[in-house]
Chain A
Amino acid sequence: KNEVEQSPQNLTAQEGEFITINCSYSVGISALHWLQQHPGGGIVSLFMLSSGKKKHGRLIATINIQEKHSSLHITASHPRDSAVYICAPIQGAQKLVFGQGTRLTINP
């Protein structure tokens, strides 16, 4: 079993839909990153959070450290949101452990 499990692995939705991607992890962590990998391969850090909720534009990330769970939500999804979203909990002070990614496709 992987230390980090994301669900779903693939998600296809229509433009405008509300999107939720879940991440569960089995390791003790200090914080967690959500990353976005574009179709061209580039990786962008969306959020880093250790508690509660963070919002940036149409993106919202939540984390519950006790329950070892985090979610990434996208409101009013758009085709440009199509990408792979990767959950990456941080073990200790330094080591990222990566989920396998969720491939999101938003159709117009």
Chain B
Amino acid sequence: DTAVSQTPKYLVTQMGNDKSIKCEQNLGHDTMYWYKQDSKKFLKIMFSYNNKELIINETVPNRFSPKSPDKAHLNLHINSLELGDSAVYFCASSQELVGVVGSPLHFGNGTRLTVT
């Protein structure tokens, strides 16, 4: 069973479109995250949700909006896509907040977004 699953795996779209990436975890974790990995392979936190409540919102354009309908899901909606949004987006989850020792991160397999 996949612990953290993201869909789609690949997403190719044109500038200006609106798209969503879905994430679901079946681990019963309370905290979920979205990370972005750019073309230079740097990972950066975008959002963190704990029990459906937004905890971290880094300096991400407001075209990006996370939505957490329940603890097991954290979807990422992106409006008016731009070329610079091309990256790999990773969803992750942990039982507690990421700084709590003994609460490891579990990552999804990533969604490669290409904006043309």
Binding site for B on A (CB under 8 A): 30-31, 33, 35, 37, 41-45, 48-50, 84, 86, 88, 90, 92-96, 98, 100-101
Are A30 and B99 neighbours in the complex by a CB distance under 8 Å?
yes
Are B97 and A42 neighbours in the complex by a CB distance under 8 Å?
no
Partner of A41, one of B44, B88, B101: B88
A43-B107 contact given A90-B98, A94-B56, CB 8 Å threshold: yes
Which secondary structure characterizes the binding site on chain A?
A: strand
Binding site for A on B (CB under 8 A): 40-45, 48, 55-56, 88, 90, 92, 97-107, 109-110, 112
Closest 4 CB pairs of A and B: A93-B99, A43-B107, A98-B43, A45-B104
Residue of A with least CB distance to B106? A45
Are A33 and B45 neighbours in the complex by a CB distance under 8 Å?
no
Which of chain A's residues have a CB closer than 8 A to the CB of B102? 48
Partner of A93, one of B43, B44, B100, B105: B100
| Interchain residue pairs with CB less than 8 A apart (20) | A30-B99, A31-B101, A33-B98, A33-B104, A33-B105, A37-B41, A42-B107, A42-B110, A43-B90, A43-B110, A45-B104, A48-B104, A48-B105, A50-B101, A90-B99, A93-B99, A94-B48, A94-B97, A95-B56, A95-B99
Are A98 and B42 neighbours in the complex by a CB distance under 8 Å?
yes
Residue of B with least CB distance to A44? B107
